Amino acid sequence: MTIEIYTHCTTGLGPLCCLEAMDLGIRSVNTAVPPLADSSSNPSVFNVARNARALGYNPLVDESVLEPVSEHFMTIAKREGFPIGKPVEYDYAQYQHQVPGGMLSNLQHQLDKVRLGNRFPQALEESIQVRAEFGYPIMVTPLSQFVGSQAALNVIVGDRYKEVTDQVIRYALGRAGEEGGRLMDPNVKDKILDRPRAREIAAQEPEETPLSEMRARLGGDGVSDEELLLRWLLSEDEIAQMRAAAPPQAYVSTTPPLVALVEQLARKSDLGHVRVTKGDVSVTLNRGD
């Protein structure tokens, strides 16, 4: 059996963890190509390969083949304004709230939707408290979503546990594992379950949706098992947005510099005119009303 290391860079220690794994005998390391590396993604393949050689290892990767790939996606990211992965500083708070990288972006998204994005640090602090009150569940899907979503609700509403999700109610009822209901703070558990919706859910038999019915509802036979599980974790609104999305866009990274410049300028709504001058030739373009 081949054992691999798969780590993210959320805490800033991803590349170091890869090196420690190599010293412990791991020979398969998951990496990513910039600009899709670092931040909350995998370590950069270039960084890991370079450090591996410094330790005396001989990584089986040809970076010269990947450099054009990196340049291709970097050009697209800069032109389209997509996020560019960067190394992050060590963050001790990550070990306190333990919110995983994917949940961090989801938490920020929830707050942004109600124009409270500036309260993200407060939501992380609230996540620490919520996790403690939930009995310190392991912060992996779906438990991390229970904690993060409830922390966001507490911050948005301003009255802790005044609003709770159905998933949190089921967690308090022990429907997501008996430890949930048994290890929760009793006062918090009572507050969650003392509402009509909780009594309604408690009276329901646990749902056992046939796989065929789930597949038909979430996309049909053309959806892979992996994609099916992903959609099952999403809300109906998110699935509707996904289905309404346009087909994948073809990006060309070899656009002539002048054409790329004109495309970027055309996207800026705050420009009234553009003047290009070379030698004795001057061209001015004015934006129409």
Higher pLDDT, residue 106 or 51:
51
Helix (H) or strand (E) holding 75: helix 63-80
pLDDT-based confidence at residue 218 (cuts at 50, 70, 90): confident
> Reduced to 3 states, what is the DSSP secondary structure of residue 218?
helix
Give pLDDT tens digits for 147-175: 999 999 999 999 999 999 999 999 999 98
Q: What is the tens place of the pLDDT at every residue in 183-216?
A: 999 999 999 999 999 999 999 887 778 888 888 8
- CB of 123 closer than 8 Å to CB of 172: no
Helices H, strands E: what count in the chain? 15, 4
Structure tokens at 186: 């009793």
Residue 256 has pLDDT above 70, yes or no: no
User: pLDDT tens digits for 48-77?
Assistant: 999 999 999 999 999 999 999 999 999 899
Mean pLDDT of 261-272: 74
Any long-range contacts for 78-82 (C-beta under 8 Å, 24+ apart)? 79/260, 79/263, 79/264, 80/251, 82/35
Distance between alpha carbon 284 and the CA centroid of its chain, in Å?
43
Percentage with pLDDT > 70 across the chain: 97
- Structure token digits, residue 99: 């919110």
* Domain 94-203, CATH number (from 3.40.1410.10, 3.40.228.10, 1.10.472.90, 3.40.50.720): 1.10.472.90
**DSSP-derived 3-state class of residue 121:** helix
Whether 218 contacts 231, CB under 8 Å: yes
Domain map (residue ranges) of the chain: 4-80, 94-203, 257-286
Q: Within 13 Å of residue 21, how many CA atoms lie on the same side as its CB?
A: 17
Whether 42 shows a pLDDT value over 90: the answer reads: yes
- Mean pLDDT throughout 259-280? 77
Compute the distance between CA of residue 225 and CA of residue 236 in angstroms, rounded to an integer: 18
* 56 token code pair: 């005396």
More confident residue, 132 or 265: 132
Cβ contact 169:149 at 8 Å: no
**Nearest C-alpha neighbor of 34 from the set 24, 22, 21, 48:** 48
Give the pLDDT score at 141.
80
CB atoms within 10 A of CB 232: 13
Q: Is the pLDDT of residue 255 over 70?
A: no
Burial class from Cβ neighbours inside 10 Å (0-12, 13-18, 19+) for residue 238 reads exposed
Of 43 and 227, the structure prediction assigns the larger pLDDT to 43
Q: Which helix (H) or strand (E) holds 286?
A: strand 281-286
Average pLDDT value for the chain = 88
| Better-predicted residue by pLDDT, 271 or 28 | 28
Provide the token pair at 235: 């809300």
**Residue 271 near residue 265 (C-beta atoms within 8 A):** yes
Q: Return all residues near 279 (Cβ < 8 A) that are at least 6 apart.
A: none
